[in-house]
Amino acid sequence: MYEGNENPVLWYGAYTKDGTNNTAELHALYQALHFAKEQKEALIYSDSKYSIDCITVWAYGWKRNGWKKKGGEIKNLALIQSIHSLYDTLKNKVKIKHVKGHSGVEGNELADRMAVHAIAQKALEYEVYSYDNITSILAKI
């Protein structure tokens, strides 16, 4: 989380043993929206087009249709409903933009490192990652 010109605050957590990439991306978006609640305005970047579209586009149609979609179940439905509800209350002060993953965007690269760290630590709750400098984190594979 970037605020002004300060070093970013890095968070990790929400480890789920059998979690999927899509579930992890949705959890990250949910957490970002929770942080955005406390801000006057916020810009959220995500490399998950799936998560962005679920919350900002598709959910409106699904909601109109009783949370159903043509062709089957909506995976991660309860999580999507929670995130969409939060997004809907914040959409006038929050912008969510897609960035290409693994393309050198610092915040996105840091988010990937935090996801790997959460898995390694099996961190269930969100925690702040302590670090000395960004370069050392970005150098980790």
CATH number at residue 112: 3.30.420.10
Whether residue 1 is contained in a domain is answered as: no
Q: What is the pLDDT of residue 59?
A: 97
pLDDT of 70 strictly over 80: yes
At a CB cut-off of 8 Å and minimum separation 6, what does 106 contact?
134, 138
pLDDT of 141 strictly over 80: no
**Residue whose entry in the numeric block shows the structure tokens 């400098």:** 133
- Domain range for 99 is 10-139
Q: What is the pLDDT of residue 64?
A: 95
Q: Distance (Å, rounded) from C-alpha 74 to C-alpha 78?
A: 9
Quick: pLDDT tens for 87-120. Answer: 999 999 999 999 999 888 999 999 999 999 999 9
Instruction: Give DSSP secondary structure letters for 52-73.
Output: HHIIIIIHHHHHHTTS-BTTB-
Query: In sequence order, which ranges of 65-124 are alpha helices (DSSP H)?
Result: 77-90, 106-121
Counted domains in the chain: 1
Model confidence at 72, pLDDT cuts 50, 70, 90, reads: confident
Whether residue 86 is contained in a domain is answered as: yes
Model confidence at 10, pLDDT cuts 50, 70, 90, reads: very high
Model pTM?
0.89
Q: Distance (Å, rounded) from C-alpha 44 to C-alpha 97?
A: 6
Whether residue 94 is contained in a domain is answered as: yes
Whether residue 5 is contained in a domain is answered as: no
- 27 phi and psi, to 5 degrees? -60, -40
Whether residue 4 is contained in a domain is answered as: no
Please count the helices (runs of H) and the strands (runs of E) in the chain: 6, 4
